Structure 1
Amino acid sequence: MESFIKDYDKILKRQRNLETDDPLDRLIAVVNEAKEKIRADPSSVKTSLATLDSSLSAVSNGISEEQKELQSALSKYSKTIDKKFTGDMMGAINPHAFDNKEKMLRNTIAMHFIRQGNFEIGDTFAKASRCSEAGLEVSDSMRNQFMEMFDIVAALKENNLEPALEWATRHRSGLEKRSSTLEFKLHRQRYLQLLEAQQLLEAIAYARKNFGSSGSRHTQEILRLMCCSIYMHRIESSPYADLITSNTNSDIQHMFTRDFCSLIGLSCDSPLYVSVTVGTQAMPTMIKMASIIKAKKTEWSQQSELPPVEINLTDDTKFHSIFACPVSKEQASEENPPMMMVCGHVVCKESLQKLCRGSSSYRFKCPYCPSELVASQAKNVYF
C-alpha cells in the first residue's frame, strides 16, 4: 500500500500545481499583454497580433503537455491498481470451508453483535438462525456482562468516571493479577478533572485518598501529578501539558474494554472481527498463491491445507509468538513444543524423536549443522 500512497501523493501534488498556475489565467495574461501594447501603440496592431498568435500557441502547447503528463500518470496509476488488486477472488476461496460448521458460524455472528453492543440485532439473529435449538445460545450472564460493559463505556464517553471506578474497585484483585494500571489511570483522570474545574483542595484530598496504593508502581507519575497543581490555571501551557492530552479518554475506554474482556476470559476484539481483518490482510497473498497453483496446474494439498506462505500481519493481530518446525513445517503446540538442541538449532519435539529414532541416547546429526547430538540434551523452548 505504501507504493500506492506515494504515487497518489505525486499525482495529487502535480494536480495542485496545475490548479495553482491556472491555464486560463495564463491565456488571459497573454491576451491582456497584447491588448495593452495595441492600446499604447495602435500602429503595432499587426506585429502585436502576430506576437499574440505565437504566444497563444506556445501557451496552449505547454498546457497540452502538462495535461498529457497528468493524464498519463493517472492512466499508469489506474493500471497499477487494476493489476495489483484483481477483482477475481474466487480462486482463493474455498466454498466448502464451512461445511458442517454452520452452527458455529451462526453463533459466532450472533456473539459478534452482542460484543458490539447491538443486543437487539444479536437476539433477533440468534432467534432467526435458531441458535438456541442447536444449544449455542448466548447465555444471559454473558449478555448481562456486556450490557454492563457498554453502560460503563457510555459513561466514560461522557467523562463520567464513577461507574468505571466502582467496577475497578470491585475487581481490584483480578486487575492486580494482570498488572493492570486501569484503576490508577481512572484515579489520575479524576484528579485532573478536579484541577481543570479549579477545585484544588478537593483534588489534593482525592490524591491523598486514592494515590497511596499505587505509590510504589507510579511514584514518578504521582510526583508530576502533584506538581502540576501549581499550574492549575494554565496546565495546557505548562511543562505538564502532556497530562491532559485529548486522547486520554479514548485510551481509558480501550484499556477498560480490554481488561473487562480479559477478566471474563475473552479477547478484546470479537473472533469474527479478527478473522475478517486477518483474512483481508492475507487475501492478496492467497490470490497470488492461487494464481501460481492454477498456472502450474497442480494442487498444494488434498487435505484443504493452506500453503506455507508468509503473511505480514499488523501488530494488533499478533497475539503470541509462533514457531514452525523447519523440518516438519508444522506449527508448534503444547503437545509438540519447540526443542532447542545443544548446537542452538530448534525443531519440534516430534521431529526430534524421529531424528533420534525414539532413543534419548541415540546420537544423530543436526539437520542444519555438523554437530552430533543426543535427544536427552535438548531443552524445551518457550516463546
Structure 2
Amino acid sequence: MNAFVDDYEKISKRQRTLETNDPLDRLIALVNTAKDKIHDDPNSVQTALTGLGKMVKSVSSSIQDDHKELQSSLSKFTKALDKKYSCDMMAAMNPRAFDNKEKLLQKTIALHFIRQGNFTIGDAFAKEAGLDVPDELRHQFMDMFDIVAAMKTDDLEPALQWAKLHRPELEKRGSSLEFKLHRQRFLQLLKQKKDKLAIEYAQTHFGYFGFRHTAEISRLMCSVLFMGRLMTSPYADLLTPGTAADIQHMFTRDFCSLIGLSCESPLYLSVTVGTQALPAMIKMASIMKAKKAEWSQESEMAVESNLTDDTKFHSIFVCPVSKEQATDDNPPMMMVCGHVICKESLQKLCRGSQNLRFKCPYCPQESMASQAKNVYF
C-alpha cells in the first residue's frame, strides 16, 4: 500500500508542477515579446515571426512531452491499482433479492427524494411508478426543510415555535432540543455584544429549564462577564464551531422521531451498511468459489460485519458459548454469578433439569437454571 501512496504523491507533484508552469502563460509571453520587438522595429516583422514560430513549436513539443509523461504515469498507476484490487462485486449480489418487492423498493426511493428535500423529483418518480405518497408526509418534510433553512441563516424563531408546540412529546422522549435552541439564541446575542438583551432573554426563557440544566445555565450566565473576549475566557467552549450544525441535526432527528420515522433515509442507511459489508462479502464469495461451495442459509449473511455506531439501532447479544445471536425463542439469561449466556446453552449445561447444579463456563461459581433470569437489552 505504501508503494501506491508514494506513486500517487509523485504523480500529484508532477501535476502541480505543470499547473504552476502554465504553458499558456509561456506562449503568451513569447507572443508579447515578438509584438514588442515588431513595435520597436517594424522592419523586423519577418525575423520576429520566424523566431516566434520556432519558439512556439519548441514550447508545444515540450508541453506534449510533459503531458505524455504524466498520462503514461497515471495510466500505469491506475492499471496497477486495478490489478492489485480487482474484484467482482457481482459475486456478492443476490439477483433475486427484490423479487416481488418492486413496489417496496420504488416507495423507498420516492420517500428518499422527499426526505432529502427533492420534492419535485420525488413527486415525478411517485407518479411514474404509480405510488400513493401521503400529502401529509410531504407537507411535514416541507415544513422541516423550511425550519432548517431558517436555522442555517441563524433564524431560530421557527424552530423555537415548533419545539414549544411539541414540548410534551419532546420531554417524554428526553430531548433537550428546546433548551439547546434557547441556549443558541442567548449566545447569538452575546456574540452581537447585546449583553442586556441576552440577560433579559435568559430571565424570560431559562427559568423553565432550571431544574434539569442548572449547571449549564450557571455557566451561560457567568459567560456574560467576559462579553467581548469570550474566545479567550474559561467559557470559550460555548462557541465551539459546529454547535449550530449539531442543533440542526438534533432538530431533524427529533422532528422525524415525532412523525415515526428514522432520522436518516432507509435507502441511505442501506447503501451505507452495504458499502461497509461489501469487502467482507466479496472476500467470502471468492473463498466459497475457490472451494466450490455455496452459502445455503437464506436471509442470513455468510460473515459478520462490524458496523459503525451510527448504523446500529438495537442491542445485539451473541452467546459466548454457542456463538449464536440471541432471539425471542433463545433469549439471554443471567446466572447468579452475573455471567450471561443464551437459554439453549443454559439448558445444555443443566442437562434439562432446572434444579441440577452446574459450574459457570467462565467462573468457578455454581448455579441452577431455576436461578437464572432473563436479560432485556
When normalised by structure 2's length, the TM-score is 0.74
Partner of 2:99: 99
Partner of 2:305: 311
Residue 124 (str. 1) matches residue 124 (str. 2): yes
How far apart, in 2, do the equivalents of 1:117 and 1:224 lie?
Answer: 37
Residue 243 (str. 1) matches residue 238 (str. 2): yes
Judge conservation of contact 2:147–2:158 (CA < 8 Å) in 1.
Answer: yes
Partner of 1:63: none
Partner of 1:256: 251
Partner of 1:161: 156
Of 118-127 and 343-352, the range deviating more from structure 2: 343-352
In the alignment, residue 128 of structure 2 is paired with which amino acid? A
How far apart, in 1, do the equivalents of 2:160 and 2:118 lie?
Answer: 25
Instruction: Write the deviation string for residues 96-130 of structure 1: whole angstroms up to 9, x where unpaired.
Output: 11112112111111111111111221121112112
In the alignment, residue 83 of structure 1 is paired with which amino acid? K
Residues 377, 221 of structure 1: alpha-carbon distance in 2 compared, 3 angstrom cutoff: same
Residues 99, 335 of structure 1: alpha-carbon distance in 2 compared, 3 angstrom cutoff: same
Residue 227 (str. 1) matches residue 222 (str. 2): yes
Partner of 1:204: 199
Paired residues for 1:68-217 under 5 Å: 79=80, 82-84=83-85, 86-131=86-131, 137-217=132-212
Instruction: Write the deviation string for residues 207-246 of structure 1: whole angstroms up to 9, x where unpaired.
Output: 0111112223322322222222223233334333322233
Judge conservation of contact 1:113–1:122 (CA < 8 Å) in 2.
Answer: yes
In the alignment, residue 95 of structure 2 is paired with which amino acid? P
**Post-superposition offset of 1:274:** 0.6
**Post-superposition offset of 1:298:** 0.9
**Post-superposition offset of 1:11:** 5.5
Coordinate RMSD, CA, aligned:
3.3
**Post-superposition offset of 1:355:** 6.0
Residues 382, 10 of structure 1: alpha-carbon distance in 2 compared, 3 angstrom cutoff: farther
Judge conservation of contact 1:339–1:346 (CA < 8 Å) in 2.
Answer: yes
How far apart, in 1, do the equivalents of 2:280 and 2:128 lie?
Answer: 36
Instruction: Write the deviation string for residues 51-106 of structure 1: whole angstroms up to 9, x where unpaired.
Output: xxxxxxxxxxxxxxxx9xxx7xx97897466434x341111111011112112111
Judge conservation of contact 1:169–1:183 (CA < 8 Å) in 2.
Answer: yes
Judge conservation of contact 2:7–2:77 (CA < 8 Å) in 1.
Answer: no
Partner of 1:332: 326
Residues 301, 325 of structure 1: alpha-carbon distance in 2 compared, 3 angstrom cutoff: farther
Residues 76, 184 of structure 1: alpha-carbon distance in 2 compared, 3 angstrom cutoff: same
How far apart, in 2, do the equivalents of 1:199 and 1:15 lie?
Answer: 50
Q: Which runs of 5+ in 2 are unaligned?
A: 18-68
How far apart, in 1, do the equivalents of 2:180 and 2:4 lie?
Answer: 42
Partner of 2:5: 8
Instruction: Write the deviation string for residues 15-51 of structure 1: whole angstroms up to 9, x where unpaired.
Output: 769999xxxxxxxxxxxxxxxxxxxxxxxxxxxxxxx
How far apart, in 2, do the equivalents of 1:240 and 1:207 lie?
Answer: 17
Instruction: Write the deviation string for residues 316-369 of structure 1: whole angstroms up to 9, x where unpaired.
Output: 112232113356654323443211334655333355456656653466676778
Among all aligned residue pairs of Structure 1 and Structure 2, give the percentage whose two residues are the same amino acid. Answer: 66
**Post-superposition offset of 1:282:** 0.6
| Count of residues paired in the alignment | 324
